[in-house]
Amino acid sequence: MRTLSIVFATLIILLQYPLWLGKGGWLRVWEIDRQVTAQKDSNARLRVRNAAMDAEVRDLKQGYDAIEERARYELGMIKQDEIFFQILDKPAAAAPAEAAAKP
């Protein structure tokens, strides 16, 4: 009777091995599920980024306002007959030196 119990226990363990540790086992399914969730999150972030880029491309194709804004801020361009004033801030190190020199 004891031998029969050991044989059955061994058979049950052998049958359970593929379920838990085999190629399509639960551990593999849980790992793939985690990877699918991570990929869905990545896809959602990329979808938002692509929507923003698509809106920017449509804006650049349809209107001159976006082109003008980019030319001004990224390239430093100005319109014809426009006067450009550049105001320079005093360096931070020079300001305390001037205050100390004036008694």
Say if 102 falls within a structural domain: no
Do residues 60 and 67 make contact, with C-beta atoms less than 8 angstroms apart?
yes
Say if 59 falls within a structural domain: yes
Say if 73 falls within a structural domain: yes
Domain count, the chain: 1
pLDDT at residue 82 in the model: 83
Say if 8 falls within a structural domain: no
Say if 10 falls within a structural domain: no
Say if 62 falls within a structural domain: yes
Say if 87 falls within a structural domain: no
Q: What does the pLDDT average to over 58-67?
A: 82
User: Residue 22 — very low, low, confident or very high, per pLDDT cuts 50/70/90?
Assistant: confident
- Report d(CA 97, CA 80) in Å as an integer: 41
- Percent of the chain exceeding pLDDT 90 equals 23
pLDDT at residue 46 in the model: 98
pTM of the complete model beyond 0.75: no
- Report d(CA 57, CA 71) in Å as an integer: 15
**CB contact set of 25 (below 8 Å; sequence gap of 6+):** 18, 19
31 or 90: which leads in pLDDT: 31
Give me 43's structure tokens.
């896809």
User: Residue 99 — very low, low, confident or very high, per pLDDT cuts 50/70/90?
Assistant: low
Structural domain containing residue 52: 24-77
- Report d(CA 34, CA 75) in Å as an integer: 45
Angle at 56 between CA 52 and CA 57, to 5 degrees: 120
Give me 6's structure tokens.
């050991």
